[in-house]
Structure 1
Amino acid sequence: MTDEKILTFVVPAYNMQGYVKRCVRTLLSPEHLDDIEVIVVDDGSTDSTLEVAQALEAQYPDVVRAIHQENKGHGGAVNTGIANARGMYIKIVDADDWIGAEALEEVLTVLRAQKDSDDPLDMIVTNYVYDKVGKRHKHVVDYKNVMEPDKRIGWDDLGRFGIAQYLLMHSITFRTQVVRDSGMKLPEHTFYVDFIYAYVPFPWVKSIMYIDTPLYHYFIGREGQSVQTDVMIRRVDQLYRVNNCMLEATPEPDEVPRGLYRYMIHFLSIETSITSVFLILSRKRENYARQKELWARIDKYSPIIGHDARRQIPAMAINMPGPQGRWCVRVGYKVADQIMGFN
């Protein structure tokens, strides 16, 4: 075995004894494992997650590492994985999700070609699948309308993202040094930090390649999952906190390439709209006021960013006034959920 790892998978795991083995097995599917490592970060689980991870480490001692820490939440577990990663590239895979074997081989071919490059790719983008329990048709999120596959590109080469289309943790593989150079530290004991992970490092990304393959399978259907509608309503304060982290990482238009600024405003507007949706779905009068405050805070932070974020279609839709506007938001969310199956 070699210590030169091309790819580190970080698997944050809290009380995932029934899922973590399935996840890790998919990460071990490649024919050659000598340049891959899997770091399972047990985040203070109270079940046997750590024991399962340690058993996998014993079985694959040069590939799998089990790290135990006191509970710090998803963000704290990802931070630990980043700090301990030895791979040139890094991919976060939640313990209840998994990776497609054929797609992984495609990605590894590209990553291994970067090993001896003087100017390696900073970010790989791949497709992901909403793997919802009981849903026959699995919705695949791809980026063919935005990026030409298998070509090295920069931010100014991107096409226009769709109204509700954006890059998520599931679709991104970063060069590890890019993440470290960005100085990103995810907030602890906070859900939905994957929005931050797929946002803060972007000004440090100079080169991108899109591989049109369904790498990540996003499992939906576990009881108590953080993306269930009722759970997101209860945790809307955490969406609010994530939004603030993203806002503080948003550059002014003259600080980054035009294509990057355009995309970051697009994504900021979407995340702010998502937070607004769950404030509205709560049906609490005080949250209706908070929804207005959310957008006012962006205006105060930067009038330019506020102006540009409000001009995005999701922002205009979410800010329709009065009870009729809130009714449209609730109906629109229900229809989108039926079509996409994201909750």
Structure 2
Amino acid sequence: MTAAGVRSGQTGRVPRLTVVIPAYNAAEYLHRALEPLVAFSDAHPGVVEVIVVDDGSRDGTGALADAYAVRAPGAIRVIHQDNAGHGGAINAGVAAASGRYLKVLDADDWLDPTALTVVLGELARRDAHGGIDLLVTDFTHVRDGRGDRVVRFDSVFPAGGVIGWDDTSRFARRQYLMMHAVILRTAVLRRAQLRLPEHTFYVDSLFVLTALAHTRRIVYLPVSLYRYVIGREGQSVEADTMLRRIDQQLFVTRRALRLLPYPQEVASGAVPARLYAAMMHYVEALCVVTSATLSRGGTPAHLAKRQEFWADVRAESPWLHARLRRTLFGASSNLPGRAGSRVTTLAYHAARRVAGFS
């Protein structure tokens, strides 16, 4: 592993925020992620450090990232490593981070500069009074040819101050704390001993769920910071790609099930009930999308895996299994016959929309 660029902390100033950008064969669009951050750093030096993790790219990603590090040596660092997958790249970025807070930004997405200014001002204010564990912002789906859609959390989190999980409300169907919505205190990630699986897609959910369990002090800002591009050919969340990688989705969903707190921890007060509900809400969506993807595959092998998966859900979380089986999505993802297949296809597309994959 090699690194290029200068650590912002070497100037004697600890960055407020580290932005980790995992990048594999991203030369075509990496500039879109970096340009706003370079412009922001030029205007506000030392506040943000950007760590680009070139994850064994075979195109010009590494060279492009290095050029940006030369252009903005106080703001951008580049880590070159052998390919370890999305999770391995995030692991490397988190390990190298020196900022008080951390945000993961996929190489084909970008952050809104105006919203970033608001976010960093809020983090500075909160740091003056002990800091927070989690900052939640809205985010925008940038959908090719279909118009953008903002995912808002104002019905879940009250804005204006530091809150706890007990102050939050129930998540609606389209509201999930995807990685795009969260900024975490770096110390929280270290305390959680975050280590994502390597050479595996769909690990964003494990990043969020692992960290959420350790969050207590929360701030919500009703600004759309993250621009999440949907519809790019070859994306990991594209429907046919998800079906080809269903074994990885199964692996991640099973890991997510094991991250759920025990109900006894909630009953004892060790885990806030609303935190448990938020994690359960997220895992429910993963289960539905995983099961519906297997149903869409439709082969005997896919259907056998689906049956085995539901048995795993029942074993890991009987309460979640019962809850899913009562819902339209859960019930429709296990219907037999041709009619069941048609219903399953409809449920599949609905589940993808609900979970934010389209």
Q: Classify the TM-score, shorter chain.
A: over 0.9
Corresponding residue SS for 2:136: strand
CA contact (8 A) 1:129 1:138 kept: yes
Tell me the distance in 2 between the aligned counterparts of 1:142 and 1:71. Answer: 35
CA contact (8 A) 1:265 1:309 kept: no
Corresponding residue SS for 1:265: helix
Q: Gaps spanning 5+ residues in structure 2: where?
A: 1-10, 266-270
Code of the residue aligned with 2:313 in structure 1: it is: I
CA contact (8 A) 1:168 1:195 kept: yes
Q: 1:73 is matched with which residue: 61, 85, 89?
A: 85
Tell me the distance in 1 between the aligned counterparts of 2:327 and 2:19. Answer: 34
Mapped pair 1:103 → 2:118: no
CA contact (8 A) 1:132 1:342 kept: no
Show the 5 A alignment for 1:13-92. 13-30=23-40, 31-92=43-104
Tell me the distance in 1 between the aligned counterparts of 2:352 and 2:305. Answer: 24
Q: Corresponding residue for 2:283?
A: 268
CA contact (8 A) 1:236 1:279 kept: yes
Q: Corresponding residue for 1:204?
A: 214
Q: Corresponding residue for 2:177?
A: 167
Tell me the distance in 2 between the aligned counterparts of 1:276 and 1:292. Answer: 9
Tell me the distance in 2 between the aligned counterparts of 1:304 and 1:341. Answer: 24
Tell me the distance in 2 between the aligned counterparts of 1:226 and 1:94. Answer: 12
Q: Corresponding residue for 1:192?
A: 202
1:132 is displaced (CA, Å) by 1.8
List per-residue Cα deviations over 1:281-335 (Å, max 9, x = no partner).
1121221222122121122224345445555664344345554333212124446
List per-residue Cα deviations over 1:4-62 (Å, max 9, x = no partner).
11100000000111111221112234331312100000000011111111111111111
Corresponding residue SS for 1:153: coil
CA contact (8 A) 1:269 1:312 kept: no
Tell me the distance in 2 between the aligned counterparts of 1:206 and 1:112. Answer: 18
CA contact (8 A) 1:270 1:314 kept: no
Q: Do the aligned partners of residues 323 and 164 (structure 1) sit closer, same or farther apart at CA in structure 2, a change above 3 Å counting?
A: farther
Q: 1:245 is matched with which residue: 235, 255, 263?
A: 255
Corresponding residue SS for 2:248: helix
Code of the residue aligned with 1:220 in structure 2: it is: I
Corresponding residue SS for 1:200: helix
Larger mean Cα displacement after TM superposition, 157-166 or 73-82: 157-166
CA contact (8 A) 2:141 2:230 kept: yes
Code of the residue aligned with 2:88 in structure 1: it is: G
Tell me the distance in 2 between the aligned counterparts of 1:210 and 1:322. Answer: 46
Tell me the distance in 2 between the aligned counterparts of 1:103 and 1:96. Answer: 18
Q: Do the aligned partners of residues 306 and 330 (structure 1) sit closer, same or farther apart at CA in structure 2, a change above 3 Å counting?
A: closer
List per-residue Cα deviations over 1:135-155 (Å, max 9, x = no partner).
2x2111111121112332111
Tell me the distance in 2 between the aligned counterparts of 1:276 and 1:334. Answer: 12
What fraction of aligned residue pairs are identical, expressed as a percent?
A: 39
Q: 1:257 is matched with which residue: 265, 269, 272?
A: 272
Aligned residues: 341
Q: Do the aligned partners of residues 250 and 341 (structure 1) sit closer, same or farther apart at CA in structure 2, a change above 3 Å counting?
A: closer
* TM-score, normalised by the number of residues in structure 2: 0.89
Q: Do the aligned partners of residues 22 and 90 (structure 1) sit closer, same or farther apart at CA in structure 2, a change above 3 Å counting?
A: same
Shift >6 Å, 4+ stretches: 336-341
CA contact (8 A) 1:168 1:194 kept: yes
Show the 5 A alignment for 1:175-190. 175-190=185-200
Q: Do the aligned partners of residues 328 and 188 (structure 1) sit closer, same or farther apart at CA in structure 2, a change above 3 Å counting?
A: same
Q: Gaps spanning 5+ residues in structure 1: where?
A: none
Corresponding residue SS for 1:165: coil
* TM-score, normalised by the number of residues in structure 1: 0.93
CA contact (8 A) 1:132 1:341 kept: no
Aligned CA RMSD, in angstroms, stands at 2.1
Tell me the distance in 2 between the aligned counterparts of 1:211 and 1:172. Answer: 11
CA contact (8 A) 2:49 2:99 kept: yes
1:133 is displaced (CA, Å) by 1.9
Q: Corresponding residue for 2:141?
A: 130
CA contact (8 A) 2:295 2:334 kept: no
Tell me the distance in 2 between the aligned counterparts of 1:208 and 1:114. Answer: 10
